[in-house]
Amino acid sequence: MCDFTNEERKALTATRSITRDEQGREVLVGLTERETIRYMGYVRRGRSGLKAEREMHKHLEEKHEYARIEAIGIEHTLEMRNPPWA
């Protein structure tokens, strides 16, 4: 399980980056629990000298950001008062 600090949770909530999975565990939007643990481990350690680790982090970051932006767009659409298609 990924235990977010209060500071991490606050920042991630503000950017709509955190959610709960089917089992109720806090995860990063678009990532599994395992991926979230790997992502946060990398972030907490700082940059790595290992190319494979940097590439994995980049992949997870892209996956997370794509899902986060998509979720924000869906949320925005649902909140529209007069959507153009209505």
Percent of the chain with pLDDT over 70: 85
Find tokens 């950001």 and name the residue.
65
The answer as to whether 43 is a domain residue is yes
For residue 81, give the DSSP letter: S
Asked if the structure places residue 60 within a domain, the reply is yes
Domain, as residue range, for 64: 6-79
* Number of structural domains in the chain: 1
Q: Mean pLDDT score of the chain, rounded to an integer?
A: 88
In a domain, 1, yes or no: no
Tell me, what's the pLDDT at 75? Answer: 66
Q: What is the pTM of this model?
A: 0.81
Residue 67 domain-assigned?
yes
Asked whether residue 44 is assigned to any structural domain, the reply reads yes
Q: Which of 41, 45, 58 is nearest to 4 (CA)?
A: 41
